[in-house]
A and B are shown apart, each in its own frame.
Chain A
Amino acid sequence: MDLGLKGKVALVTGAGSQRGFGRGIVQVLAKEGCDIAACDIDINGAEQTAAEIAQTGVRAIAVKADITNSAEVKDAVKKALDEFGRIDILVNNAGGSTPPQSFVDTTEEEWAKDINLNLIGMTHCTRAVLPQMIERGSGSIVNISSIGGIMGTPGGTAYTSAKAGVIIFTRSLAQETANAGISVNCIAPSLGNTAFYDEFPKEFTDSFVGKAVEAGRFVTPEDIGNAVAFLASDISNRIMGQCLNV
């Protein structure tokens, strides 16, 4: 099936980790013919991803941004626009969570950190990328929420609240920009064998993540990439403001 993505330009945040969803997203989009701006707070990782992608024949650059810093995000988007002239696809993938703990033990700082990184950060990126999409009357935005943002998880009140916010932000924005020819959807991945859990207590990752990985009950970066590519394609434009559980 031709997704019609050849020659499109995609900016993907959180694309620096070499075992993350972002890299899988970039790989699938590049395979479909997209040029890539790989964005990450870790510029070395982003450069590694970009270098690998450039070898497949599409154009790829690395841009540095801490997505919670709107000035840095603006700079990164400007750099991508200077290079490619436009951004057709924005994938808000960067995110992360403070280690799981009960709500009463959560500090205001930890709350702010989860909300800033997972909800406010993606609004910075969206605000920076959207105007040129509206101007051109076309564009696709795919946000990465989480299954936790639908079901909730004990010990993850801040993170899951932020991810639930992503789902409704997606729906509202889709309704706002549909007439401008812009599609906005999100994906709720379940557990992945990524760096997401690296800062979590070892006993948690061993028992929870380890068991799921052992049983094959985890999603791969490629699974997420496939879903992103499908939603980013114009052929799925009748899907609007939705959250796809992967």
Chain B
Amino acid sequence: MDLGLKDKVALITGAGSQIGFGKGMAMTLAKEGCDIVVCDMDMEGAEKTAADVRGLGRKAIALKMDITSTAEVKEGVAAALKEFGKIDILINNAGVGTQPKPFVDTTEDEWDTNININLRGTMIVTQAVLPQMIERKSGKIVSMSSTAGLSGMSTGGVYGAAKAGVTLFTNALSKEVDEYGINVNCMAPGLGATNFHKASNFPQEYVDKFVKEMAASGRTTTPEELGIVAAFLCSDVSRKITGQCIRVAGLM
């Protein structure tokens, strides 16, 4: 199926980790012919991903971007627009959690981490990218929710609340920008064998045992699988799919 993504420009946040969902989406979109703006707080990782995208014969630039910094996001989006002239696709992938613990024990700092990065960060990047999509009357936005944002997860209530916010923000925004031909969707991945748990300060034992076991038995969502669904949602073949949250989680 021709997804018609050749020569589209995609900006992907959190695409610096070499084992992450972001890189999986960057590579899948590049294979479909997209040029990629690789954003990450970790510039070295972003450069690596950009180099691999170039290896597929597409253009790529790496940008340092802390999505909770409006100034840095604006600067990054301006640099991307200077390089490519447009951003057709925005993938709000960057996100993180905090160590699972009973709600009564969570700190307000932990609430801020979850909400600022996952929800507010998604809004900041979206607001920076959206105007030129509205102006050109075309665009695709895919954000990252989570299965924990669809049905609550014990000891992960604040993370789940932030991700549920992404799901509803997605749905509301889709109704707002439909008249401009812009599709807004999100995906709810299941557990991935990515850097998420380490970055979110999960106990090392959880990563070593549970995540590895899940991956070994083929029950984790892979970056490639998420990339395939992202590519489908960014294509005009799915033009009538908007405001949705697609669960990409097997039976999780």
Q: Hey, which bits of chain A sit against chain B, CB under 8 A?
A: 1-3, 28, 32, 174-175, 178, 190, 219, 223, 226-227, 229-230, 235-242, 244-246
Give 11 CB contacts A-B under 8 Å: A1-B228, A1-B231, A178-B251, A226-B238, A227-B241, A238-B225, A238-B226, A238-B229, A239-B248, A241-B251, A246-B241
Query: Complex formed: what's the CA distance from A235 to B229 in Å?
Result: 9
Whether A1 touches B3, Cβ cut-off 8 Å, given contacts A174-B251, A230-B232, A241-B251, is yes
Dominant secondary structure at the B interface: loop
- Whether the Cβ atoms of B248 and A1 lie closer than 8 Å is no
Known: A1-B1, A175-B251, A227-B238. 19 other contacts (CB 8 A): A3-B1, A219-B240, A223-B240, A226-B1, A226-B237, A227-B241, A229-B1, A230-B237, A235-B228, A236-B232, A238-B190, A238-B229, A238-B248, A239-B229, A239-B247, A242-B247, A244-B241, A245-B241, A246-B238
CB proximity to A under 8 Å, residues B209-240: 221-222, 225-226, 228-229, 231-232, 237-240
For A244, the chain B residues whose CB sits under 8 A away are: 241, 244, 246
For B88, the chain A residues whose CB sits under 8 A away are: none
- Whether the Cβ atoms of B1 and A32 lie closer than 8 Å is yes
For A246, the chain B residues whose CB sits under 8 A away are: 238, 240-241
Query: Complex formed: what's the CA distance from A3 to B1 in Å?
Result: 7
Query: Complex formed: what's the CA distance from A227 to B241 in Å?
Result: 9
Residue of A nearest to B243 (CB): A245
A236 → chain B closest CB, angstroms: 6
Query: Complex formed: what's the CA distance from A238 to B34 in Å?
Result: 24
Query: Complex formed: what's the CA distance from A14 to B231 in Å?
Result: 29
Q: Hey, which bits of chain B sit against chain A, CB under 8 A?
A: 1-3, 32, 190, 221-222, 225-226, 228-229, 231-232, 237-241, 243-244, 246-251
- Whether the Cβ atoms of B32 and A240 lie closer than 8 Å is no
- Whether the Cβ atoms of B228 and A236 lie closer than 8 Å is yes
Residue of B nearest to A187 (CB): B241
Query: Complex formed: what's the CA distance from A8 to B176 in Å?
Result: 40
For A238, the chain B residues whose CB sits under 8 A away are: 190, 221-222, 225-226, 229, 248-250
For A190, the chain B residues whose CB sits under 8 A away are: 240
B149 → chain A closest CB, angstroms: 15
B176 → chain A closest CB, angstroms: 16
Residue of B nearest to A231 (CB): B232
Whether A239 touches B1, Cβ cut-off 8 Å, given contacts A190-B240, A219-B240, is no
Residue of B nearest to A32 (CB): B1
